[in-house]
Amino acid sequence: AYHEKVSFLFFVMPSRESAELYKSLKKDMDELVGRINSTYGSLNWMPVWYFYRPLEFEERIELYCQSDIALITPVRDGMNLIAKEYLAAHTDRGGVLIISETAGASKELVDAIIVNPNNQIEISDAIRSSLEMPEETQINKNKALANRLRNYNISAWADHFITSLDEVKKIQEIKLAKRITHQIVQEISNAYGAGSRRILFLDYDGTLMGFNKDPQKVYPDKELYDVLKKLSQKKENRLVIISGRDKETLGRWFPSDWNLDIVAEHGVWIREPKGEFTMIEQIDSKWMEIIRPILEFFVIRTPRSFVETKNYSLVWHYRNADPDLGVQRSWELKDELKALVTNLNLEIMDGDKVIEIKNSGINKGRAANIKIGDGNYDFILAIGDDWTDEYTFDALPDDAYTIKVGTKTTKANYYVEGVPDVRNILIKLTNK
């Protein structure tokens, strides 16, 4: 339908012309443009107008004004001012901006058509959509984009940057006051030694063990087994592993003959010493049939990500993906799921390089309350590393010792830097 009606003005700015790789790329481009024009062109029409030279600012402005579409598809770009210049030239007129999702500018130019630069079909569809977009829609979009650029200018950005720096400093000061010290560790140790009914809630991933690209490889090491066995064998102790892991994995790693309680899948399953896993309450998992295809679509769009299926939750892992792309896709996934989770009574949990979807109302804090209700404890300790553990911290009484692993904002009383610090605290308790 658009044959001999649309031409592509292809501008390449000379760069590093002495480099062999660049010479090879230019040769490939020259040949590709030649093949396209010879195959599809005619005496009256040339599909691709190819320019290999620098462009003065005035020339760029003229091209912006004459172009109906700006196709800007870098594989990666920190900002991309070309996109903003094009919009400045189309403030009160038609014209459509198509921009790569990996260009920094795409984060603020949300009314533009945003595409995956590696997806030819998606780009083709975007071009067709642009050509068929009513002019009034084009003008309204461009006004909104231009208004955004006008309001969030360099002065506004600088002001926001300085304000953010001040906020970070305030947060650091708060955290500094809560950072665990040798004196506090000794205080915890003394309180533990004086206790006759003690309960310890320990998260697993990121707390007892560090992270790994393959979650199944984060099985307990010998030191951890020894520490946990010593703690669980003390008659004054009730030791609770409270994790988002599935019950099969935790059951395999920690045999039922241990004097150890396990809370699996963020509070769905509970197992007491020498017992079997039971559910806190009956919950429905039919929603997985609706959510799983969405997660699998994001796996396709995010190389090296994968979906983990638990008994009553689904997890999208992106630890192995490109860091920037993984974060961007996680935002997109949460936006995609927002309406669905509300209607299905589900909850999105944003963990460390994971997005988990589960039934609403099931959390670690609820499970912790059940465990505390079983006995009158005079020493309570909880350690965890991500926001799912905040439910536990929030559920415990004020005199409990709560410790966050990492430096994120927390409801815990104290924080430590990492897994080795947790090990040191637990080892100290085993010597009491």
Question: Which residues, 6+ apart, have CB-to-CB distance to 233 below 8 Å?
Answer: 259
Would you name the residues annotated as active-site residues? 203
Strand ranges in 205-345 using DSSP code E only, listed in sequence order: 237-242, 260-264, 269-271, 278-279, 306-309, 313-317
Question: Which residues, 6+ apart, have CB-to-CB distance to 9 below 8 Å?
Answer: 49, 51, 63, 67
SS3 of the chain: helix, strand, coil, percent, to 5: 45, 20, 35
List the 260-264 sheet strands across, edge first: 278-279, 269-271, 260-264, 237-242, 198-202, 379-384, 401-405, 414-416
Nearest-CA neighbor of 201 among 30, 395, 29, 342? Answer: 395
Nearest-CA neighbor of 298 among 338, 329, 343, 263? Answer: 329
Q: What is the dihedral of CA 56, 57, 63, 65, to 10 degrees?
A: -160
80-109 b/e with 16+ CB inside 10 Å = b?
bebbbebbbbbeeeebbbbbbbbbbbbeeb
The distance of Cα 17 from the centroid of its chain, to the nearest Å, equals: 39
Measured CA to CA in angstroms, residue 90 lies from 87, 98, 253, 261 at distances of: 5, 14, 62, 64
Alpha-carbon span 240 to 221, nearest angstrom: 18
Alpha-carbon span 196 to 191, nearest angstrom: 10
